[in-house]
Structure 1
Amino acid sequence: MAKRKAATTEDAPSGDAGEMAPTDSVYLGKSVKPEFIYLRLANRHGLITGATGTGKTVTLQGLAEGFSDQGVAVFCADVKSDLSGLAEAGEAKPWIEARAKEIGFKNEFKGYPVIFWDLFGEQGTPIRSTISEMGPLLLSRLMDLSEAQEGVLNIAFKIAEEEKLALIDLKDLQALLENLAARADTLTTKYGNITKASVGSIQRSLLVLEQQGGAHFFGEPVLDIEDLMRTNPEGQGYIGILAAQKLMDSPRLYATFLLFLLSELFEKLPEVGDPEKPKLVFFFDEAHLLFKDAPKALLQKVEQVVRLIRSKGVGVYFVTQNPLDVPDTVSSQLGNRVQHALRAFTPLEQKAVKAAATTFRANPAFNTEKAIMELGVGEALVSTLDAKGQPTVVERTLIHPPNSRVGPITDAERKAIIAESPVAGVYDKRLERESASEILEKRAEDEVATQDSKPDVQKAGTAKEDSGGGMFDWILGTGSRRRLTGGQKVAREMTRRTGDEIGAAIGKSIGGKTGESLGRSVFRSIIGGFLKR
């Protein structure tokens, strides 16, 4: 096998990345030539794959730095807390100096403008959205609902829209589902079958979602996506870092949230065609969580978003261990590829290596499939789009070392950065306004108040119709098993007392206490035993 030619200081361009690659690009590293991604083609998306410990995080870190320096905002999830180091300047280490020398790269150690985000509001600025904005499709995915349950959830959203019920947080959806169950008989004829079993299953799923932290995410104020695309006064793009260590305990929430963000960007950003550089580059780490066990409708949505969001000026880069994690319909749209080493000890791993090799434009200088298993740490097979938008021949490439810190920052450093963030104080305090739960509660109270305010005569007529009996049934409340109104309770007590008086009168003719007791018993037997103490 022909090995990759070692890039030495003598035969490599000298200076920093700007001298090693075109100025309108982001530098990746060096093979037999500089490897880079053209800014105007960065919105054609990308894929970064490789086994654990092969250098994917450092590759992502270097790309984030490059895009930021070019004025492009970045959003990425920090699964292991390593990416937090982007906020602080790096330092010379033996491996950094050795790699930089080999590829002729000059490090400019510095920190980058960073905004820390956190769904739980613990390690960054809180991110929230509403139930309405999430929509029934993503919520169904989030709660792993069946087809029948998803149908009921769609009906709930339809009724909320028609009745102007704002669905903001989980308690709003809970209240609406309870209301649907109570009105199921009348709603079914118009909207379709609404079973209490399906409603109950959705409510149980909501409880699970709440325990996983969903209550933190749903609420207001809602994230303004423009805050993901900020630049600092020096023209650098802000790097949004989502604290995902705790979030990874709820992998479905993590994947659904990132897909929700992509959908929001797709729906709210205007069409810009092919800009000179992206507005935002979105790194989707642990991408396999998005596609694992995903229903067909969700996969179609992901494919649509990836295919069309590039015209909104957004580039999406999936990061995962196995290239087979990304479906072919999505993978075919990823133009810029970085493949770190894969291991092939099992048949499935061997299949992954072959699949990865076939996605590259072959290089006659080496066997791509074999090279994937021989790559060292920090080395990758790279193929990007050339000036004409065509994939370049794959090359074995040494990835350049980052300028920022490799590894996590301290808690004190994180707190200081959060306090100085351009969004500090904007999303910290949770807002409360009237929404579905309050509206439905008030509606129920008004119905009770209206019923209680009716005259007793009107209530008597209603009770008579309901029970099928007459005034006697109304007085005793025996026509049907229902809650007595205030008037009925008074009437019943008066009748009870009257019965006691009549019984006492009968008893006098018999004489003594025994006579009075016997008199009351006789009266109760006469009226059928309805008066009970």
Structure 2
Amino acid sequence: MPNTEKFLQSVQEGYTFKGEFAVLGVGMLDKAAVPGALVKLPLKTMNRHGLIAGATGTGKTKTLQVIAEALSDASVPVLLMDIKGDLSGIAAAGVENDKIKERLAIIGETYKPTGFPVELMSLSNEKGVRLRATVSEFGPILLSKILDLNDTQQGLVAMIFKYCDDNKLPLLDLKDFVKVLQFVSNEGKAEIEKEYGKIATTSTGTILRKVIELQQQGADVFFGEPSFEVDDLMRIADDGRGMISVLRVTDMQNRPKLFSTFMLQLLAELYATLPEAGDLDKPKLVMFIDEAHLVFQEATEALLQQIETVIKLIRSRGVGIFFCTQNPQDVPASVLSQLGLKVQHALRAFTAVDRKTIKQAAQNYPETEFYETEQLLTELGIGEALVTMLNEKGIPTPLVHTMLVSPRSRMDVLTDGEIDGLINKSKLVKKYAETADTESAYEILNAKLEEAAQKTAEEKAAKDAEKEAKKTSGGRQEKSTIEKVLDNSVTRQIGRTAANVITRSLLGALGLGGKSSSKKKSNSWF
């Protein structure tokens, strides 16, 4: 059998699926497209997660865009984490050009410019739906892992959450958590230690410093109310297509810890909210994380373990996660092993380190008789990639050098006017626009401390007044008695006589009374 026929048969057998699928591109052999060797994407396995990797400018973002469009067409909601700010164009129809026409003619597809239903979102003050979460929703375990606390400090955080639950102190934003930390270290320490055990001041100080570090990355704008409801990520547009939520996080590149915090909380919330789904014909939600190295860049070992655990478990909830990054090694090996679909664009070999990276990347893919994988990784053209995925039985499909289809939406950003138009039409923007500052731990503890301070001041003032009253009242009573005695005509004479006797006695005792004494006095002094 000629090599081309063998290759065609291998692709057709490996990429034929029973359920719904999308065409990702056409297989290539010896750098030429092989008609009919269509590489298809089965929607049934899209909850098995995936990786889109490759050097800058090789077409990663466009591949992400193509897959997101196919999912939306199949009524699957999509969440795109837009780090570079170049994914908003998916809301507008693309424009056909000669290159697109030529590419699709080779693949055997036709180009239909299409805009998709999009909801713009933000973690900060950028235009779009504001995403927030409360500290309570994070819970003590997740918050401790994000802050990279040791076992003792984790125990203290768990105790703080328990104390707040028992005393109806809602932890909504970080100022609530900081206020409770300060309270358990000072005014409330004795009271809390009676009920919950000893509190180490050094631990509360360490936790407080780490919370402040998180605040310096802008976490205050993320924690609070109204908290975002994950159901709003899984909406279907009026025309039946899946809504594509574009989370614009261009300001997160310098705040990786906040980005990791959001990512982990969102995954945990999805896992906790969604019921067990088993094997579905298509996923409930698919997330794409562009520039995924930011998720792992400053993640602690504990945080990485948590991410790995959630990725393993969330698949059963019908959620797929795709990481888009320049190098497969940006993703920890424990996470990389969980990714079913792998789309590898070209890698560049400029240095010895680059060549080592390419060799490692080649080892991540199935062996094939049709390609020298390590060499081909440096020769892939723009819009071409090595593709392999899991079939419906969980078996890896053949590795195929693929010419990818072009996105049907705009391969560029929206203008400011177009963004404003989307914002004005959005119902969710209005729903989450206003920050709610409801009464929570911060206000309740402040009121409690003010009340205690006022009570103490009032008690002190009352004691001072009582003391002053006694002093004043006692003096008046004594003066009044003397006056009464001296006012009596009989006693006035007795008083004078007694006064003389007393005076004399005193003077005598001092050697100053009487004439005889005066002489002695004179002698005694001179």
Which residue in 1 is equivalent to 2:86? 82
- Are residues 1:256 and 2:261 paired? yes
Q: Which runs of 5+ in 2 are unaligned?
A: 28-33, 476-526
- Are residues 1:395 and 2:400 paired? yes
- Are residues 1:285 and 2:302 paired? no
Compute the displacement of 1:38 (Å): 0.7
Identify if the C-alpha distance between structure 1 residues 349 and 146 changes in structure 2 by more than 3 Å, giving closer, same or farther.
farther
Q: Structure 1: which amino acid aligns with 2:140?
A: P
Compute the displacement of 1:323 (Å): 1.0
- Correspondence 1:161-180 to 2 at 5 A: 161-180=165-184
Contact 2:19 2:44 in 1 (8 A): no
1:311-346 C-alpha deviation (Å, 9 max, x unpaired): 111111111112112222222121111011112334
- Cα RMSD of the aligned pairs, angstroms, is 3.0
- Correspondence 1:129-144 to 2 at 5 A: 129-144=133-148
Distance in 2 between residues matched to 1:134 and 1:248, nearest whole Å:
23
- Are residues 1:55 and 2:59 paired? yes
Structure of greater Rg: 2
Distance in 2 between residues matched to 1:25 and 1:421, nearest whole Å:
30
Q: Which of 112, 117, 121 is the equivalent residue of 2:121?
A: 117
Greater shift after overlay, 398-407 or 303-312? Answer: 303-312
SS of alignment partner, residue 373 of structure 1: coil
Give TM-score, length-normalised by structure 2.
0.80
Identify if the C-alpha distance between structure 1 residues 122 and 149 changes in structure 2 by more than 3 Å, giving closer, same or farther.
same
Contact 1:81 1:407 in 2 (8 A): no
Q: Structure 2: which amino acid aligns with 1:131?
A: V
Distance in 1 between residues matched to 2:19 and 2:87, nearest whole Å:
25
Give TM-score, length-normalised by structure 1.
0.79
Distance in 1 between residues matched to 2:275 and 2:389, nearest whole Å:
26
Q: Which of 308, 314, 321 is the equivalent residue of 2:319?
A: 314
SS of alignment partner, residue 25 of structure 2: strand
Q: Which of 68, 90, 95 is the equivalent residue of 1:91?
A: 95
- Are residues 1:64 and 2:60 paired? no
Which residue in 2 is equivalent to 1:17? none
Distance in 1 between residues matched to 2:335 and 2:134, nearest whole Å:
28
SS of alignment partner, residue 286 of structure 2: strand
- Are residues 1:300 and 2:276 paired? no
- Correspondence 1:375-394 to 2 at 5 A: 375-394=380-399
Q: Which of 244, 248, 258 is the equivalent residue of 1:243?
A: 248
Distance in 1 between residues matched to 2:343 and 2:259, nearest whole Å:
24
Identify if the C-alpha distance between structure 1 residues 403 and 221 changes in structure 2 by more than 3 Å, giving closer, same or farther.
same
Which residue in 2 is equivalent to 1:29? 25
Which residue in 2 is equivalent to 1:408? 413
Contact 1:184 1:195 in 2 (8 A): no
Distance in 2 between residues matched to 1:136 and 1:288, nearest whole Å:
26
Which residue in 2 is equivalent to 1:126? 130
Distance in 1 between residues matched to 2:360 and 2:158, nearest whole Å:
39
Q: Structure 2: which amino acid aligns with 1:487?
A: K
Contact 2:172 2:225 in 1 (8 A): yes
- Correspondence 1:145-294 to 2 at 5 A: 145=149, 148-182=152-186, 183-185=188-190, 187-188=192-193, 191=196, 194-294=199-299
Contact 1:83 1:408 in 2 (8 A): yes
Q: Structure 1: which amino acid aligns with 2:52?
A: I
The percent identity for this pair of structures is 42
1:460-510 C-alpha deviation (Å, 9 max, x unpaired): xxxxxxxxxxxxxxxxxxxxxxxx6453378479979x99xxxxxxxxxxx
**Length, aligned pairs only:** 458
Distance in 2 between residues matched to 1:21 and 1:34, nearest whole Å:
12
Q: Structure 1: which amino acid aligns with 2:230?
A: I
1:177-232 C-alpha deviation (Å, 9 max, x unpaired): 11111133554576565333432343343334334322211111111111101111
Contact 1:141 1:256 in 2 (8 A): no
Identify if the C-alpha distance between structure 1 residues 453 and 70 changes in structure 2 by more than 3 Å, giving closer, same or farther.
same
Identify if the C-alpha distance between structure 1 residues 370 and 131 changes in structure 2 by more than 3 Å, giving closer, same or farther.
same
Greater shift after overlay, 102-111 or 67-76? Answer: 102-111
Contact 1:142 1:253 in 2 (8 A): no
Which residue in 2 is equivalent to 1:427? 432
Contact 1:37 1:385 in 2 (8 A): no
Compute the displacement of 1:269 (Å): 0.2
Compute the displacement of 1:272 (Å): 1.1
Q: Structure 1: which amino acid aligns with 2:85?
A: S
Q: Which runs of 5+ in 1 are unaligned?
A: 14-19, 455-483, 500-533
1:121-142 C-alpha deviation (Å, 9 max, x unpaired): 4221111110111233443454
Q: Structure 1: which amino acid aligns with 2:440?
A: S
Greater shift after overlay, 292-301 or 70-79? Answer: 292-301
Distance in 1 between residues matched to 2:340 and 2:4, nearest whole Å:
23
Compute the displacement of 1:254 (Å): 1.1
Which residue in 2 is equivalent to 1:106? 110
Q: Structure 1: which amino acid aligns with 2:106?
A: E
Identify if the C-alpha distance between structure 1 residues 192 and 297 changes in structure 2 by more than 3 Å, giving closer, same or farther.
farther
SS of alignment partner, residue 134 of structure 1: helix
1:266-322 C-alpha deviation (Å, 9 max, x unpaired): 111011111111010011222222223433332222122111111111111111112
Q: Structure 2: which amino acid aligns with 1:134?
A: F
Compute the displacement of 1:50 (Å): 1.1
Contact 2:19 2:281 in 1 (8 A): no
Which residue in 2 is equivalent to 1:466? none
Q: Structure 1: which amino acid aligns with 2:363?
A: T
Contact 1:90 1:406 in 2 (8 A): yes
Q: Structure 2: which amino acid aligns with 1:135?
A: G
Which residue in 1 is equivalent to 2:511? none
Identify if the C-alpha distance between structure 1 residues 52 and 489 changes in structure 2 by more than 3 Å, giving closer, same or farther.
farther
Distance in 1 between residues matched to 2:351 and 2:200, nearest whole Å:
47
Q: Structure 1: which amino acid aligns with 2:384?
A: E
Distance in 1 between residues matched to 2:60 and 2:260, nearest whole Å:
19
